[in-house]
């Protein structure tokens, strides 16, 4: 009898808890109904724009059609059109994909809880909100509202073309970024109904999502839609690409280059013009992507509108959206290199021109083992760490918001550094394997630390808080980073000699780009 009474009490308690959570909300378009799990209200698959199909393909997102009745919001919307789901996406793939998801701890509207808006990675060719690693429960349990927003990828999100530029009157090729902006506008207009604070929004992305939040931080079109920026392994401060050059550290393609890539893609499709391409099925377009861009992929464009020019110039001129930033990268972003000493030296000399000797002087390569390690290092600098460091420097020098930098180097002793994205499940508290096998207590401890820093930053613009190692703001004359390894703590920015050598190379590339009219 005692057990029966306890069970009845717990059932009533949980029922009361569910009732006290937000279960329905009136949003743009109509009313939605979510579910309550472990004291967190979850709404999945909320539409935030019209399906970008037919005549709406390759246009900025259009307002959605209102619905009648209550729409169930208990399952993820389709992932945006892409290749086979190799990244853990659990939803079907469709061109009709502009949906977002909300995890909120609020018990009633208007609580003004800080909001984090997650933007997934995937090389701008894939990715999805339904990937289990991106579950928002962990963040919501720590007292923030987590919103994940879908955006178009591949040619559906980033095809530029002269016809499309004329049609819009403001360039072309950034529909994926415009999807993110539409999602942020939805947040501004609706998140209070989920207990979120529209005046305390953090945009948060990894990899391509990190590049995207960097571009949004520099975009006048996104002004006022967010108040902090959190980036894991992203950034795009290199000079614009004006041809399909293979130089490391380059930024977005210039509009003219992107338009020529788009023209070539339409020829590959066998489409005479944009109207004909819009009449094709999404599947027919998708299967023609391979090799269509000379290996550069479809990605955000310096269209003169969403992305006015190269980001370095925008920051130098103080024309960016000035907020606090928290940025960082892992110690081994792209895997171990396998170049021999001779191959490494030949590669550097062919790729870095006049700056090859300066690069070689800071990357040891007298043996094959040294060359392999240095090959890993130069790929880290050219892909992410230089942009991370440059962003922190520019924000601290040109902006009012503070910059905080991190370096993630937590890995098993027999593993050569921390790979790309290995820090993401620690931030989301979605560990499944830790550093091999089930998560160990030290894995869970680090995950709790990193997620706490991220939540503190979303709440106040500063990651510091009780019980956490002090994380100093980045400054040009005191370049500190929080190093996440077996003994986390603030230290001088790692690999500074390599960053400075690579910086000199990118400065030279920037001057060369100016001469060719790319900036």
Pairing mode, if any, of strands 145-149 and 70-72?
A: unpaired
Please say if 355 is a catalytic residue. no
CA-to-CA dists, residue 92 to 74, 79, 129, 136, 439, angstroms: 15, 6, 12, 20, 30
309, two tokens:
């020019």
Are residues 450 and 465 in contact, defined by beta-carbon separation less than 8 angstroms? Answer: no
Question: Tokens 């700056």 identify what position?
Answer: 355
Is residue 178 part of the annotated active site? The answer reads: no
Among the listed residues 125, 148, 207, 375, the single catalytic one is 207
How many other C-beta atoms lie within 10 A of the C-beta of residue 9?
10
Residues in a beta bridge with 101: 148
Q: How many CA atoms lie within 13 A of 170 on its CB side?
A: 10
333, 345, 381, 405: the active-site residue: 333
Active-site choice (41, 418, 420, 452): 420
Active site residue 333: yes
Give 36's DSSP letter: E
Answer yes or no: are the C-beta atoms of 246 and 352 closer than 8 Å: no
**Which has the closest alpha carbon to 336: 417, 216, 398, 391?**
417
- The answer to whether 108 and 195 are in contact (CB under 8 A) is yes
The strand pair at 196-206 and 228-232 is best described as parallel
Which of 241, 265, 54 has the alpha carbon at shortest distance from 161?
Answer: 265
Give the tokens for residue 251: 């930024």
Six-digit token string for 439: 């998560």
Neighbours of 188 (CB within 10 A): 17
Q: For the sheet containing 24-27, what is the strand order?
A: 24-27, 30-33, 70-72
| Residue 465 half-sphere exposure toward CB, CA atoms < 13 A | 16
Helix runs in 38-123, H state only = none
Question: Which residue, 230, 236, 159, is CA-closest to 201?
Answer: 230
What proportions of the chain, in percent to the nearest 5, are helix, strand and coil? 40, 15, 45
What is the set of active-site residues?
A: 207, 333, 420
């Amino acid at each position: 009898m005692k057990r029966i009474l306890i069970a009845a009490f717990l059932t009533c308690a949980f029922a009361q808890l569910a009732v006290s959570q937000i279960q329905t909300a009136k949003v743009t378009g109509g009313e939605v109904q979510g579910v309550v799990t472990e004291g967190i209200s979850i709404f999945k698959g909320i539409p935030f724009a019209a399906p970008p199909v037919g005549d709406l393909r390759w246009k900025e997102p259009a307002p959605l059609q209102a619905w009648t009745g209550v729409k169930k919001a208990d399952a993820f919307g389709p992932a945006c059109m892409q290749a086979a789901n190799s990244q853990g996406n659990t939803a079907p793939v469709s061109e009709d994909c502009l949906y977002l998801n909300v995890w909120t701890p609020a018990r009633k509207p208007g609580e003004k809880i800080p909001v984090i808006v997650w933007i997934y990675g995937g090389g701008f060719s894939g990715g999805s909100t339904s990937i289990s690693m991106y579950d928002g429960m962990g963040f919501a349990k720590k007292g923030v509202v987590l919103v994940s927003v879908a955006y178009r990828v591949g040619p559906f999100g980033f095809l530029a073309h002269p016809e499309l530029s004329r049609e819009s009157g403001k360039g072309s090729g950034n529909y994926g970024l415009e999807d993110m902006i539409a999602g942020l506008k939805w947040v501004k207009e609706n998140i209070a109904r989920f207990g979120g604070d529209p005046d305390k929004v953090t945009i948060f992305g990894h990899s391509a999502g990190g590049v995207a939040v960097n571009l949004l931080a520099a975009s006048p079109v996104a002004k006022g839609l967010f108040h902090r920026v959190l980036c894991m392994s992203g950034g795009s401060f290199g000079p614009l690409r004006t041809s399909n050059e293979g130089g490391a550290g380059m930024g977005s393609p210039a509009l003219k280059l992107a338009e020529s890539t788009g023209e070539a893609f339409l020829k590959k499709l066998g489409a005479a013009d944009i109207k004909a391409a819009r009449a094709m099925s999404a599947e027919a377009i998708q299967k023609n992507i391979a090799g269509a861009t000379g290996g550069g992929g479809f990605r955000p464009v310096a269209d003169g509108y969403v992305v006015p020019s190269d980001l370095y110039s925008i920051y130098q001129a103080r024309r960016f959206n000035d907020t606090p930033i928290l940025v960082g990268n892992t110690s081994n972003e792209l895997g171990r290199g396998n170049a021999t000493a001779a191959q490494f030296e030949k590669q550097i000399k062919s790729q870095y021109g006049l700056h090859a000797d300066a690069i070689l002087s800071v990357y040891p390569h007298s043996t094959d083992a040294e060359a392999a390690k240095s090959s890993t290092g130069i790929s880290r600098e050219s892909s992410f760490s230089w942009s991370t460091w440059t962003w922190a420097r520019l924000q601290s020098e040109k902006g009012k918001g503070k910059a905080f930098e991190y370096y993630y180097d937590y890995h098993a002793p027999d593993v050569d550094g921390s790979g790309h994205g290995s820090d993401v499940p620690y931030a989301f508290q979605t560990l499944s394997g830790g550093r091999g096998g089930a998560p160990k207590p030290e894995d869970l401890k680090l995950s709790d630390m990193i997620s706490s820093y991220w939540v503190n930053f979303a709440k106040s613009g500063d990651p510091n808080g009780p019980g956490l190692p002090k994380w100093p703001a980045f400054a040009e004359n005191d370049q500190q980073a929080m190093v996440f390894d077996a003994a986390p703590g603030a230290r001088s920015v790692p690999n500074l000699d390599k960053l400075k050598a690579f910086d000199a190379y990118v400065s030279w590339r920037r001057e060369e780009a100016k001469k060719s009219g790319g900036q």
